[in-house]
Each structure stands twice: as C-alpha cells, then as structure tokens.
Amino acid sequence: MPDQQQEREHLAKANRDIAAGERRVAEQIILIQQMTERGQDTTQAERLLQNFEEALEQWRIHRQLILDAIAQG
C-alpha cells in the first residue's frame, strides 16, 4: 500500500490533471462557439468535447479514490 507522502504526490498530480482537463474543456467550448458563429460543422468538435468531459470525470473519480485512501491513513 502506498504511503501517505506518495498518496499526496498522486493527489497533487490528479489536481494538475484536472486543472488541465478543465482548461481543455473551456477552450473546446469556446472553439465550438466560434465555429458555430462562422457556420461551420461542429460535429467532430462536439465529440472531442464529450471525450474531454468524460476523461475529466474519470480524473475526478480517481482524485476521490486518492482522497479516500489518504483519509483512511
């Protein structure tokens, strides 16, 4: 079982991954809005956004598992 320090390092990485994922989602939403304004097809961009959102949810679940492990000591 990983020690507390290792879990905290995993938590820090998870938090960085989540922040990066949130930035990707925000940027993709802006891109879709711009494409829509220009009358472009956004099908692929919307699929990519969905993939980003799904990955982000998995990272949040992973972070919660790390937090649970830390809390259990």
Residue pLDDT, tens place only, 13-60: 999 999 999 999 999 999 999 999 999 999 999 999 999 999 999 999
Residue 32 near residue 46 (C-beta atoms within 8 A)? yes
The answer to whether 65 and 2 are in contact (CB under 8 A) is no
pLDDT-derived band at 4, boundaries 50, 70, 90: confident
Model confidence, pTM? 0.86
Residue 73: predicted pLDDT: 80
The DSSP 8-state label assigned to residue 42 in this structure reads -
Q: Greater confidence, 64 or 3?
A: 64
pLDDT in the model for residue 2 = 62
State how far the Cα of 21 lies from the Cα of 14, in Å rounded to an integer. Answer: 10
